[in-house]
Amino acid sequence: MQNSSAVQRHRPLIAILAAMLWLASSASVALLTLMFWMLAVFAAAAGVPGLVYLLVPPITVAVGSAVIFGISRLPAVRRMEDDARVLMLAALTTTVPLSLFVLGQYGLS
């Protein structure tokens, strides 16, 4: 007799959606990090201290990764099916580029 909780369903649409969200989040974080570093170069060329532009992206990504990792270790999340868990975590990673954008627009001025 098989345990019903051990049976996993594979839902390809959810897997594709999760992959698209992960790709979009990764690409936007890479683009925003590039923009921050370009601002640091321009700030250094203008004689303005631009160290904050070099530090914000890695710190934001590290904090976002720690939060996502912490959420993934919660018992309620661990009980979810694999594809649903990956989709939920992918949706949560969209907050990392959003926080980078908000810091760039309003936080560092």
Write the pLDDT tens digit of every residue in 11-61.
Answer: 888 889 999 999 998 898 888 888 888 888 888 888 888 787 788 888 888
This prediction has a pTM of: 0.73
Specify the pLDDT at position 73: 95
- Whether the per-residue pLDDT at 2 is higher than 70: the answer is no
Specify the pLDDT at position 10: 72
Specify the pLDDT at position 23: 92
DSSP string, the chain: ---GGG-----HHHHHHHHHHHHHHHHHHHHHHHHHHHHHHHHHHHT---HHHHHHHHHHHHHHHHHHHHHHTSHHHHTS-HHHHHHHHHHHHTHHHHHHHHIIIII--
